[in-house]
Amino acid sequence: MRIQPLVLLRLCLVSLGRTSTTVLLTVILSAHLIPVLLSLSELVYTLVSLNVQNTSEDGLTPEALIVHQSSAPLLGWLQRIENGQITVNGTIVADPKSVLRSGTELVYHRLPWKEPYAPHLLEVLFEDDHLIALNKPSGLQVLPGGLFQQRTVLTQLQWHIKNQGPTLTDRELCPVPVHRLGRGTSGILLCAKTKLAKTRLAALFADKTAAVASNRKINMGVNHGKMSKIYRALACGIINEDEVVIEQPIGTLKYTGVAKGLYVASTSGKPALSKVRVLKRDVQNNHTVVQVEIQSGRPHQIRIHLSFIGHPLIGDPLYIIGGKPKCAAPETIDETCAEDGGYHRPANPVPGDCGYYLHAHQLVLCHPITDEACVKDNSTITTRLLT
C-alpha cells in the first residue's frame, strides 16, 4: 500500500528568552470560534521524519536512532522495518544495522488508521499579532500523538493562522501552544503566533518552575509576579481547611502504556507547588469545589497533588489517595507490540483518559512583546462546578 502523508512531524529544539506587561485572561462568553475543519479524513496517514544532523548521531543504525527517539518497543520497529515502512533518503531500509551518516533523512511511514472522535471547536479568548489564547474543550488533545493527529489543538491552531492571510512572514510565524493541558482538562490554553513570542513565553513558564526548584521566594496570587495560572476543580470529600499549600515533589515510575513513565507523587521527584483555596463545600454530595494556583508546571500536577492530600478529582480514572495510580505499576513493562508495531492499548487507566473535572480558569501573565496591559475577566464558565 502506498502511503500518502498528510502530516509531517519534524524534531526541533526550543530556544528560551525573556518577557514583560500584564495580560489577564479568563474564559469569556463573547469569544468567537475557530471554524471546524471540514476536510478531516476518515483515514489518517502520517509520516515521521528524523534527520541525522550532529556528530552524536552520526554512525548510528536505523534501529538505534528510531528506538532512541520514539516510544515504540524495539520489536515493533524491527517489524516496521520488515514491512518496508522505514526509508532512508527515499529508499526502503532492508537492514536495521546499516549505518547512518550526517545529513541522512530517515522516514517512518505509519499505516493508516481511523482517528477517534474528539471535540474540535476552539473559542478564541484573546488574540493579537503575537499571542492567541484558546478555550480548549475537555477531550481534545493539545499536540499530535498516538491515534490523534488531526483532531488536536495544534492542527486547528495552524489551520486558523494559515487562513488569516499574509499578516506575518513565514519566517516570523510559529503557531504553537506554549504550555500543556491534559486531554481531559478544559479552559485557557496560551499559544504563541510568532517565534519571538514562543521563545519569551517558554522562558517565562520555565522561570516559574525553576523558582520552585531553587526555593526562591514566591508570591502566590493573581496580582503578583509575571505569570499566574488559576484552575478550578471538583474534588472528592470535604476539605476542612480554607487554604492548603501542597509542596509534594512529583516523579515518575514505570507504567504500562506510558513509555516515559507515569507521573506520581514521589519523595525523589522534582519540586512542585500548588496553592489550594476552597470555594464551596457540598457536604450532602461529599465534594469540594476548589481553586488551585500552580507555581510549577509538572505534568498532571493538580490531579496528583489533590489526590496526595486525600481528595482526588471527581471522576479521575487514574489517580487515587496518595497521588498514586489506581492500578499498581508492574515491575516489568510489556515489550510485545501490537499489529502496527506500537504498544498494545493498556487495560489499566492512562493519563489521557478523561472523566475528571478540571478547568483552566484564569491566566495572568506579562505580555512578551508589548508594555500594554490587556485584561479579560469572566467566571461564568465555571458555574457548572459551583452549582
Q: Is 171 part of a structural domain of the chain? A: no
Residue 65 domain boundaries: 41-114
Give the pLDDT of residue 187.
95
What CATH code is carried by the domain that includes residue 45? 3.10.290.10
Q: Is 67 part of a structural domain of the chain? A: yes
Give the pLDDT of residue 36.
42
Between 304 and 158, name the one with better pLDDT.
Answer: 304
What CATH code is carried by the domain that includes residue 232? 3.30.2350.10
Average pLDDT value for residue range 123-136? 92
Q: Is 52 part of a structural domain of the chain? A: yes
Same domain as 234, residue 356:
yes
* CA 152 centroid distance within chain: 10
Q: Is 192 part of a structural domain of the chain? A: no
Average pLDDT value for residue range 138-150? 89
Give the pLDDT of residue 386.
47
Domain end marker among 61, 82, 114: 114
- pLDDT class of 302 with cuts at 50, 70, 90: very high
pLDDT per residue over 328-347, tens digit each?
766 555 666 777 777 667 78
- Give how far Cα 46 sits from Cα of 43, 62, 342, Å: 10, 19, 14
Give the pLDDT of residue 28.
31
Same domain as 233, residue 110:
no
Q: Is pLDDT of 292 > 90?
A: yes
Average pLDDT value for residue range 120-149? 90
Between 281 and 14, name the one with better pLDDT.
Answer: 281
Q: Is 180 part of a structural domain of the chain? A: no
Percent of the residues in the chain that have a pLDDT greater than 70, as a whole number: 69
Mean pLDDT value across the chain: 77
Give the pLDDT of residue 101.
77
